A and B are shown apart, each in its own frame.
Chain A
Amino acid sequence: DTEVTQTPKHLVMGMTNKKSLKCEQHMGHRAMYWYKQKAKKPPELMFVYSYEKLSINESVPSRFSPECPNSSLLNLHLHALQPEDSALYLCASSPQVVLPTNYYEQYFGPGTRLTVT
């Protein structure tokens, strides 16, 4: 089973709202990722959590705040977003265990389509 779930599927929010995106995996993966994807572009990495600790922040604006409550859950808190933040937000996970074959294979969730008005 390589399922990553994300809620909500769609989100419309105003620039003054606060909302959160949620991601969950039950594959025992120890790394989780947030990506942002604009139309006709590849996914753009935002954050990486490895063993529940933030290991990579790709200089993301502070209006995006990640949280990893436990090894299965990943949240992305949104506040004071701009219309240009409208995009598909993808969560992914990877095993991150000491095996040469699938160490960094990343499995994506279905995404949250975010529209900022």
Chain B
Amino acid sequence: QKEVEQNSGPLSVPEGAIASLNCTYSDRVSQSFFWYRQYSGKSPELIMSIYSNGDKEDGRFTAQLNKASQYVSLLIRDSQPSDSATYLCAVGDYNQGGKLIFGQGTELSVKP
């Protein structure tokens, strides 16, 4: 059974701080990794995708991938109250027809 694990939270950080969200996955052959943000009552929104080891930066967001450790993380710099949401880690496998395995999500709360 392929698994993706995240701390469920809630993770609480003060406004302006760095929020660090972590994810581990069990299938070594996974090739694609995604972070989705989901506000309460809304649908998931793709905010980052990463395919190779290292860091990928987009604005205040940085995704980090370490395939040897089967670990992917999302850093949010200068956290804002509007970043308060559930963050879903998803792992894809080309051999599974593009099927994504989702983690349970981490709830982030940014306090003003």
Contacts and interface: CB of A to CB of B under 8 A. Distances in A.
A55 B97 contact: yes
A111 B7 CA distance: 26
B46 A106 contact: yes
A74 interface: no
B98 A104 contact: yes
A100 B31 CA distance: 10
Contacts of A59: none
Contact of B104 (A42, A45, A101, A107): A42
B100 A104 contact: yes
Nearest to A100: B51
A111 B88 contact: no
Given A41-B104, A42-B103, A103 B45 contact: no
- Chain A interface category by residue count: 20 to 34
Contacts of A56: 97, 99
Contacts of B43: 88, 90, 108-111
- Chain B interface category by residue count: 20 to 34
A103 B98 contact: yes
A86 interface: no
Contacts of B104: 41-42
A21 interface: no
B61 to A, nearest CB: 15
A43 B44 contact: yes
Interface of A: 2, 31, 41-43, 45, 48, 50, 55-56, 88, 90, 94, 96, 100-111
Interface of B: 32, 34, 36, 42-46, 49, 51, 88, 90, 92, 94, 97-100, 102-105
13 contacts: A42-B104, A43-B88, A45-B100, A48-B97, A48-B99, A50-B97, A55-B97, A104-B98, A104-B100, A107-B46, A108-B43, A109-B43, A111-B42
Given A42-B88, A42-B102, 6 more contacts: A45-B99, A100-B51, A103-B98, A105-B32, A106-B34, A108-B44
